[in-house]
Amino acid sequence: MGSSRSGRAAIIIGSLVATAILTWAIFVAFADSANTPQTTFIPASVQAALVRDAYMIIFILAGVVFFAIMAVTLIFTLLYRERPGQTALQFHGNSKLEVVWTLIPVIIVVIMAVPTFSAISETSKAPPADALKVVAIGHQWWFEFQYPELGLTTANELHVPVGRAVSVTLESKDVIHSFWVPQLSGKVDMMPGHRNHLWFTPTQARPEPYLAQCAEFCGISHANMRFRVFVRPAADFDAWTKSTAADRTAPTTDIAKAGEAQFAASGCVGCHTVKGNAAAAGTVGPNLTHFGSRTTLGSGVVDSNPQNIRKWLANPQNVKPGALMPNLNLSQDALDKLVPYLEGLK
Ligand code: HEC
Ligand SMILES: [Cu+2]
């Protein structure tokens, strides 16, 4: 090739184009994965937006660094390689270069630190006084949500109003779990014997829930420990709190009444609370007072519908491996009564 000027130019331009295409392909792959249900790229709270902004700056800087290093590596490898009539070029020590490539990373780290520290300080401030208070309790393998000021308890489906701060106290009944709603807030550990706190202000109400997940390995069914966050206009939220704080709707049909009797006879009452049914005051499992209004069961592993409720009662471990509700070997007759009863708990 004679190391001609045009040969060198071709190597440099070719390397830059190849590296640009590679960088672009990686960027597009990331951008394409952004629009998934547990994305952190599309924030829906003030705090998640701060995290996303810091993340984007780091992501773009990382792209620039990736492009520069890959391009230079490729160019140098091709230009200064050993071949007939040319020995590989070796350098030993170059103070100017070393100062420059130490300073550049320092500047990059400083640029990343500014939005990072500002997001940390914003999110670790005390929540506003009018924040909605929620206590979230991790259990193997489901989430309990209590609203102490509203006198209500629910499971696996957290409802919050849009535009108002939500202050969450995190606890655990057994092992360490982690509360994570990628588009809204998290990940903060839920520890036994220690309270953690986080707060967030949802900015986007929408009909479909935000998906959430325990983010700390907590045992066999960790991957099935999910929950949903419903962000609703204030009026809808108020209506939800009113109906959810109320006692269960008393069974009206004969079959549902028989179901309530079965619920006591099968020992369900020892583990589950149903407000309005004095016998049912257990706290081992989820509060079922308004179970019929929830969209999923088993902490979000399946939709709540008569077939799935029946499957769950017949063999909980079949629906959710490791589930801590025992298989009670219920008869078909008991299932026939329990399903309509549970469905009617609106
Ligand atoms: C020994 C305690 C225990 C007994 C007895 C028990 N359960 Fe459960 N139940 C649980 C636990 C724990 C869960 C949560 C399992 C999970 O999601 O991992 C659960 C979950 C459920 C759920 C799903 C709730 C939701 O929102 O996801 C329903 C419905 C349910 N139980 C109904 C019943 C009925 C009906 C009986 C009686 C036939 C019964 N349970 C007996 C402990 C118990
Ligand atoms: Cu977990």
pLDDT in tens, 45-92: 999 999 999 999 998 999 999 999 999 999 999 888 888 888 877 778
Probe residue for ligand 1, chosen from 137, 272, 338 as the CB with the greatest number of ligand atoms within 8 Å: 272
- The enclosing H or E element of 132 equals strand 132-139
Q: Provide the b/e sequence for 107-134 (b: ≥16 CB within 10 Å).
A: eeeeebeebbeebeeebeeebeeebbbb
**For 313-336, what is each residue's pLDDT tens digit?**
999 999 999 999 999 999 999 999
Q: 251 C-alpha to center of ligand 1: Å? A: 19
How far apart CA 177 and CA 235 sit, in angstroms, is 32
pLDDT at residue number 33:
78
Q: What percent of the chain has pLDDT over 70?
A: 99
Q: Architecture of domain 5-123 in CATH?
A: Orthogonal Bundle (1.10)
Look at residue 93 in the predicted model and tell me its pLDDT: 87
The answer to whether the beta carbons of residues 179 and 186 sit under 8 Å apart is yes
pLDDT at residue 88, as a whole number: 75
* Ligand lying nearest the CA atom of residue 172: 2
pLDDT value of residue 164:
96
Range(s) within the chain of domains with CATH label 1.10.287.90: 5-123
Structure-token pair, residue 161 = 């109003």
- Of 77-81, 99-103, 293-297, least confident by mean pLDDT is 77-81
Per-residue pLDDT at 241: 95
- Where in 157-209 does DSSP place strands (E)? 157-161, 166-172, 177-181, 185-190, 196-200
- Read off the pLDDT of each residue in 204-221 and give the average, rounded to a whole number: 96
Q: What is the pLDDT of residue 229?
A: 97
- pLDDT over 50 at 1, yes or no: no
pLDDT at 84: 85
| pLDDT, tens digit (0-9, with 9 covering 90-100), for 171-207 | 999 999 999 999 999 899 999 999 999 999 999 999 9
Beta bridge partners of 256: none
pLDDT, position 236: 96
Whether 209 and 228 have beta carbons less than 8 Å apart is answered as yes
Residue 153: CB atoms within 10 A of its CB come to 21
Please give the sequence-ordered ranges of beta strands (E in DSSP) within 162-308, or none if there are none.
166-172, 177-181, 185-190, 196-200, 210-214, 226-232, 296-297, 302-303
Q: Name the H helices within 197-253.
A: 234-245
Q: What is the pLDDT of residue 3?
A: 56
How would residue 4 be classed by pLDDT, with cut points 50, 70 and 90? confident
Residues with C-beta less than 6 Å from any ligand 1 atom: 141-142, 155-156, 263, 266-268, 270-272, 284-286, 288, 291, 294, 297-299, 312-313, 320, 323-326, 328, 330, 338, 342
**What integer best gives the mean pLDDT of the chain?**
93
Q: Please say whether the structural domain 254-343 has been given the CATH code 3.40.50.1820.
A: no
Mean pLDDT of 303-320: 96
pLDDT band at 278 (very low <50, low <70, confident <90, very high): confident
* Helical segments of 171-247, H only: 234-245
Which residues make Cβ contacts (< 8 Å) with residue 345, sequence separation at least 6?
Answer: 248, 249, 274, 288, 289, 290, 291, 292, 293
pLDDT band at 31 (very low <50, low <70, confident <90, very high): confident
Per-residue confidence (pLDDT) for residue 170, from 0 to 100: 97
CATH 2.60.40.420 intervals, the chain: 132-245, 254-343
How many angstroms separate the CA atoms of 151 and 159, rounded? 14
More confident residue, 137 or 3: 137
Q: What is the value of pTM for the model shown?
A: 0.89
**How far does the centroid of ligand 2 lie from the alpha carbon of residue 138, in Å?**
9
Please, what is the angle between helix 306-314 and helix 332-343, to 10°? Answer: 130
In this structure, which CATH number among 2.60.40.420, 3.40.190.10, 3.40.1410.10, 3.40.50.300 belongs to the domain 132-245? 2.60.40.420
